[in-house]
Amino acid sequence: MPIAAAAGTQLRGGMAMVDKALGQGGRKSDKDLKIRVKTAKKRTVSSTKWLERQLNDPYVARARAEGYRSRAAFKIKEMDEKHKLFHKGTRVVDLGAAPGGWSQVAAKAVGSTDANPLVVGIDYLDMDPIPGVILLKKDFTEDDAPQMLIDAMGGKKADLVMSDMAWPTTGHRPTDHLRIVQLVEIAADFALDVLAPGGAFVAKVFQGGTEHELLHMLKRHFRSTFHAKPPSSRSDSAEAYLIAKGFKGRPEDSEDDSD
């Protein structure tokens, strides 16, 4: 199963061999799953479990019903409802955008149109076009990616940089953690370069992490910095979001952010 499956599940795709077994009461454990998936020759136990969870996930059903490409769309929606991230006219950069749920939510919330696009998304995966969103197919960690994003914004400053990026996991927790911290640091550095004063930064991190330096750096540059775990982020996932609001601006001479 691709890494995007963890939080940004693409909702189009083949039908599963399902066995409708009605569970009693709420969905609390595997025992209570309403739809059971039979193991198939080519399917591993973990992908069977993943498929079963997808088929029983109310957010997956809602995403399909409301036309979102991923259940992840609800994470940014819920964070916006609570922390007021989008306003009409907000310029947004979406890092790790595929399959496009966050960009869809952003475009609608800020009033972005093809004639006046306010949202730019980047991912190394292919994405179908989204009305009002400029999509770049590119690895964000490549040297020329930041400039490509700035060019796509017509050289204008952004009001919100949001990152749902995560590398494919290796299964070795400390390694995976270091890799995500590095990704968030690159995203944060980019945010400091492109945000307009008052702007905000949202990034996926993993709980129990060691992003202290990053947090310290963000605290110096933003008026408020905090963690969020939106209800649609699975409780059994270590995923959380770091939100920094009220960008103070980056002094021209502040080259060294390490303190």
Could you say which residues in the range 136-195 bind ligand SAM, by CB under 6 A? 139-141, 164-167
- Dihedral sign, Cα of residue 234, residue 236, residue 239, residue 244: positive
Contact between residue 90 and residue 80 where contact means Cβ atoms under 8 Å apart: no
Select the span of 11-19, 55-63, 97-105, 147-155 touching ligand SAM (CB under 6 A).
97-105
| Among residues 11, 16, 61, 125, the one that binds ligand SAM under rule CB under 6 A | 125
123 binds ligand SAM (CB under 6 A): yes
- 137 or 219: whose CB is closer to ligand SAM? 137
The catalytic site residues sit at 204
| Among residues 37, 60, 93, 98, the one that binds ligand SAM under rule CB under 6 A | 98
Quick check: bond before 99 cis, omega within 30?
Answer: yes
205 backbone φψ class: left, alpha, beta (φ>0; ψ -120 to 50): beta
- Dihedral sign, Cα of residue 111, residue 115, residue 116, residue 120: positive
Nearest 5°: CA angle at 135, between 133 and 140?
A: 130
* Residue 139 marked as a ligand binder: yes
Select the span of 38-46, 94-102, 205-213, 242-250 touching ligand SAM (CB under 6 A).
94-102
Binding-site annotation, residues for S-adenosyl-L-methionine = 100, 102, 123, 139, 164
Residues engaged in binding ligand SAM (CB under 6 A) = 4, 7-8, 69-70, 72-73, 96-102, 122-125, 139-141, 164-167
